[in-house]
Structure 1
Amino acid sequence: MDAFEYRPNPANIIFGSGSISKTGDQLKRHGLSKPLILSTPEQTGQAEALRKILEGKVEVVGIFSEATMHTPLHVTEKALKYCEEKSPDCLISIGGGSTIGLGKAMSVRNGLFHIVIPTTYAGSEVTPVVGETVDGKKTTRSDPKILPSLVIYDLDLTMTLPVGLSVTSGINAIAHAAEALYAQKGDPITNLFAQEGTRALARALPELVKDKSSVSARRDAQYGAWLCGTCLGSVGMSLHHKLCHTLGGTFNLPHSETHTIVLPHALAYNAPKVPEAMKMLADALPESNGDPIQGLNTLLAKTNAPRSLKAFGMKEEDIDKAADIAVSNAYWNPRSVERDLIREVIRRAWAGEDARTDL
């Protein structure tokens, strides 16, 4: 076995049906009594429900419900100003990647204890990474201080998650695991997490398409999302995430849908250089027949996942701009990042073609 370093991020995880009810006790355990709740406008109802759960235990100083995708700086600044006015002693993000991203961007700036209650399968809650958008460009920041202090996974909060979003946030989570398998600083422990997380999600997502109320599928999906997110939190990112940050931040494309569409194409580009990682991924994907690209194409087809960036408003003339931005900043990737080839990767994702390893 090759030499390696394993540096797990410290995390306090509470997992189980009804676990949101433990939030008040957890606040008291950590000596906290004045939380500020964060959400998107669409999830204000869940934020209000959490406020009611906390009534009589702590003083909720307010709800900031303007979180939005790609964590634009102007929203973060507005939330920080609101935070100063309310003087909370902690933040609680309830929602998906947009809300969690806002909470991370705030806590790393003001040092507040950050509790996350995820309602999707994005996995951002267990990573020390935040992507922020300024003037149409999304940049990624990694710092141990970004990692939330406590994560409460409540199965019940995912039961009404729409099937389409369940699928795309689940594939987004698989993307974290896939890149971890060939990360520059990978290790065998993270590889185990990546395979198990991918296996759980690949099992759960087709079942959710058949029965969105399946408790076992929801449990598998949440479990898989936690494992996959933990992988991304332990190792670095490569081509897939860089492309998605470029596309999402520059063209305001939806986060999880963009990850879903790009993933098989980015993997196909890197596949020739990472045969061991591809074998591990193939072992975790059903119906792959030893080919993880085929396995992903099949999974996307079985779950009716989106395949085309064009369908979300990206224009054909944007492909060249995206390729230029994607290669403008140097970053590690197992295969050399060549502009013309990356343009073709983006074009295929834009057109909605099946991924293939012929570049």
Structure 2
Amino acid sequence: MRFLHDTLPQRVRFATGDAAGQLSAEISEAGFERPMVIAADNEKELAVRVTEGLPVAVWHDEVIMHVPADVAARARSVARAHHADVLISIGGGSTTGLAKAIALATGVPIIAVPTTYAGSEATDVWGLTENSAKSTGTDRRVLPRTVVYDAALTLTLPVGMSVASGLNALAHCIDAMWAPRADPINATLAGEGARALNSGLPRIVADPTDLGGREQALQGAYLSAVAFASAGSGLHHKICHVLGGMFDLPHAQTHAVVLPHVLAFNAPAAPEAARRIAAAFDAPSAAAGLASLYTALEAPTALRDHGMPESGIEPAAAAVLAAAPSGNPRQLTSANLNALLRAAWEGEPPR
């Protein structure tokens, strides 16, 4: 056994029902005096509650999916103009992504308060979109110094979005099994993350007010993101980054649709990863376990339902082939990527 594993330095405060208290304590302990609060307009009421009593220097609500470069530039200008000494992101992956874009250029630290299961809060991965292309990279400056998890903040997340967001987290688990820096530590974290999501997400569908289920989903989202941050982006994430940048598709739903197809594609060539995934689902095979979960969740299945044009299949396959990481368990070709994307576009059963 021989591998190199990086563990990212980060504090996690997990306290259901006490996000405001945990955030206040973190700000006080660190001595921050000019927080910039980043929250989309539809999260403003929640953000006001969570930040009550804090010396907020400026509020910023221009949050757009996939973090367009011009949106990031305006947010950086706001941070500089108000001399922000900490960024408080309250929301999902797009909100955290915008905070990361600011931190990447300014070095201002981030405290993340997630309201979805995106997992971006636990990674040092940033992404920016410009001219229909999404660029991503890693930088320690964008890793939030602290994450405040409060399952009560996810209660207003609709069931459909909870499902898509949770499956986005599950994609981190599965991709971490065969990503460029996959190792036994990542695989263990990813396996436990998948186990928690497989348990928590059906509970949320059965009862959206089930805080225990939402706590399990948050736990799974965190474990999956930590595994992904260390293992790197595998085939699944390269596909979704290409699709999101080219067609401005909804992030979570795109991940949810693509995941079963990548699993079916790679699993036969990665038997140990497939065994771990099957064990996490307590299923006879990885594909059977994922299919059972998707049926229980009534998960999204077709890219065409989310705005991808049929004419985009071939150019997307070419872009994925150019961006795909080396070392994928199965050899990639233009033909098999076209077949994978067409099946995902049409909503066919994974092959």
Which TM-score tier does this pair reach, normalised by the shorter chain? over 0.9
Indicate yes or no: 2:173 matched with 1:180. no
1:273/1:334 contact within 8 Å kept: yes
Q: Which moved more, 1:179-188 or 1:107-116?
A: 179-188
The residue correspondences of 1:1-359 to structure 2 (distance < 5 A) are 2-20=1-19, 21-51=21-51, 53=52, 55=53, 58-286=54-282, 288-289=283-284, 291-329=285-323, 331-332=325-326, 333-356=328-351
Distance, in Å, in 2 between the alignment partners of 1:275 and 1:309 is 28
Structure 2 residue identity aligned to 1:28: S
| Pair 1:16–1:142, CA change in 2 (3 A) | same
Corresponding letter in the other structure for 2:2: A
Cα separation, 2, equivalents of 1:179 and 1:252? 22
CA drift at 1:282: 0.6
Q: Distance in 2 between matches of 1:106 and 1:277?
A: 36
- 1:139: Cα distance to partner? 1.4
The alpha-carbon deviation at position 87 of structure 1 amounts to 1.3
Q: Is the 8 A contact 1:19 1:152 kept in 2?
A: no
Is the 1:297–1:354 Cα contact (8 Å) retained in structure 2?
A: no
> Which range moved further: 6-15 or 180-189?
180-189
Partner Cα separation in structure 2 for residue 186 and residue 304 of structure 1: 30
CA distance in 2, matches of 1:338, 1:318: 17
The 4+ residue runs of structure 1 with deviation greater than 3 A are none
Q: Distance in 1 between matches of 2:128 and 2:329?
A: 25
Name the CA distance, whole Å, in 2 between partners of 1:248 and 1:16.
33
Equivalent AA in structure 2 for residue 22 of structure 1: Q
Q: What is the CA-CA distance between 1:248 and the residue it aligns to?
A: 0.9
- Matched residues in 2 for 1:354 and 1:8: separation? 37
Name the CA distance, whole Å, in 1 between partners of 2:255 and 2:127: 14
3-state DSSP of counterpart to 1:133: strand
Q: Residue type of the partner of 1:355? A: P
Q: Deviations over 1:159-212 (max 9, x none)?
A: 221111111111111111111112332222221111111001001111111101
Instruction: Figure out how many residues of one structure are paired with residues of the other and give that number.
Output: 349
Return the letter of the residue paired with 1:10.
P
Please report the TM-score for the alignment, with normalisation by the length of structure 1: 0.94
Normalised by the size of structure 2, how large is the TM-score? 0.96
Distance 2:98 2:312 in 1: 28
Amino-acid identity (%): 40
Whether the 8 Å contact between 2:68 and 2:130 is mirrored in structure 1 is yes
Aligned residues of 1:100 and 1:125 also touching (Cα < 8 A) = yes
Unaligned segments of structure 1, at least 5 residues = none
Residue by residue over 1:78-114, the C-alpha shift from the partner in whole angstroms, topping out at 9 and shown as x without a partner, is 1111112211111000000000000111111100011
SS of residue paired to 1:297? helix
How far apart are the structure 1 equivalents of 2:298 and 2:46? 28
Q: Structure 2: how far apart are the matches of 1:330 and 1:243?
A: 8
Aligned mates of 1:321, 1:44 — CA distance in 2: 39
SS at match of 2:157: coil
Superposed CA RMSD in Å reads 1.2
**CA distance in structure 2 between the partners assigned to 1:224 and 1:329 by the alignment:** 28
Give 1:121 deviation, angstroms. Answer: 0.6
- Provide the rounded CA distance (Å) in 2 between the counterparts of 1:161 and 1:177: 22
Letter in 2 for 1:340: A
Question: CA offsets per residue over residues 261-294 of structure 1, 9 Å max, x none?
Answer: 00110121112221100100011114x32x2112
Letter in 1 for 2:5: Y
Conserved in 2, the CA contact under 8 Å of 1:47 and 1:63?
no
What per-residue deviation string (whole Å, max 9, x for no partner) do you get for residues 8-64 of structure 1? 11111000113312212211211211100001222122222233x2x2xx4201111
**Contact conserved, 1:116 with 1:150, CA < 8 A, in 2?**
yes
Letter in 2 for 1:281: I
SS of the counterpart of 1:317? helix
Q: Secondary structure at the match of 1:36?
A: strand
Distance 2:17 2:209 in 1: 16
SS in 1 for 2:339: helix
What runs of 5+ residues in structure 2 fail to find an aligned partner?
A: none
Secondary structure at the counterpart of residue 226 of structure 2: helix
Given residue 139 of structure 1, which amino acid in structure 2 is its aligned partner? Answer: S
Return closer, same or farther for 1:156/1:330 CA change in 2, 3 Å cut-off. closer
Q: Which residue identity does 1:331 align to in structure 2? A: P
Contact 2:109 2:142 in 1 (8 A): no
